[in-house]
């Protein structure tokens, strides 16, 4: 597997994979306005760093957005020593084969190269496997950074609780 920065002509492929992976977590239901954000890989690429995973034959099988600091539009944090991980997605056919872990490890390496103090990410309740992976990789829950989304099709009248995780670099 090869992990590298995304090329501009791969944005549509990663957008498709991201929406497919996130819909799988939502019972294949459309994700409302959030789908537009998930599809905007080119916007993420211009603001932050988007890494992709390629399998042994060069097919794109996943991606992640690394947010270098709080000054970036993609930041979900204000911590001046922090960086973030957003929109980790692996093609459902390749899940469980280490792709997600390799993408997160790339972000950890990048954070250390940039001398960031902490990596912050948020995870939805349906992302239990990813949350378990984060904990195995040394992330800890940070409830003081949890977020609650009050609008959107996935709230069902109750706010969506995004659990925060943090890794000290």
pLDDT of 169 > 70? The answer is yes
Can you read off the two tokens belonging to residue 3?
A: 């992990």
Query: What is the spatial distance between Cα 99 and Cα 166, in angstroms, rounded to a whole number?
Result: 20
In this structure, CATH architecture of domain 2-168:
3-Layer(aba) Sandwich (3.40)
Which residues make beta-bridge pairs with 118?
Answer: 82, 168
CA distances from 24 to 28, 102, 151 (A): 5, 21, 20
Model pLDDT, residue 86? 96
Query: What is the spatial distance between Cα 17 and Cα 108, in angstroms, rounded to a whole number?
Result: 22
Chain position carrying tokens 């994979």: 17
pLDDT of 154 > 60? The answer is no
Q: Is the pTM of this model over 0.85?
A: yes
Instruction: Give 9-19 pLDDT, tens digit per residue.
Output: 999 999 999 99
pLDDT of 164 > 70? The answer is yes
Sequence spans of domains, the chain: 2-168
Model pLDDT, residue 33? 73
């Amino acid at each position: 597997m090869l992990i590298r920065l995304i090329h501009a002509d791969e944005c549509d492929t990663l957008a498709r994979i991201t929406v497919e992976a996130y819909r799988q977590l939502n019972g294949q239901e459309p994700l409302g306005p959030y789908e537009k954000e998930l599809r905007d890989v080119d916007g993420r690429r211009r603001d932050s760093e988007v890494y992709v995973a390629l399998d042994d034959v060069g097919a794109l099988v996943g991606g992640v957005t690394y947010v270098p600091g709080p000054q970036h539009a993609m930041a979900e944090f204000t911590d001046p020593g922090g960086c973030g991980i957003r929109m980790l997605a692996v093609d459902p056919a390749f899940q469980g084969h280490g792709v997600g872990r390799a993408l997160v490890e790339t972000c950890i390496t990048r954070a250390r190269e940039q001398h960031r103090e902490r990596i912050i990410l948020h995870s939805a309740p349906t992302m239990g496997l990813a949350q378990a992976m984060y904990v195995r990789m040394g992330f800890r829950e940070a409830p003081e950074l949890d977020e609650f989304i009050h609008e959107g099709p996935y709230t069902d009248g109750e706010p969506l609780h995004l659990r925060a995780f943090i890794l000290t670099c």
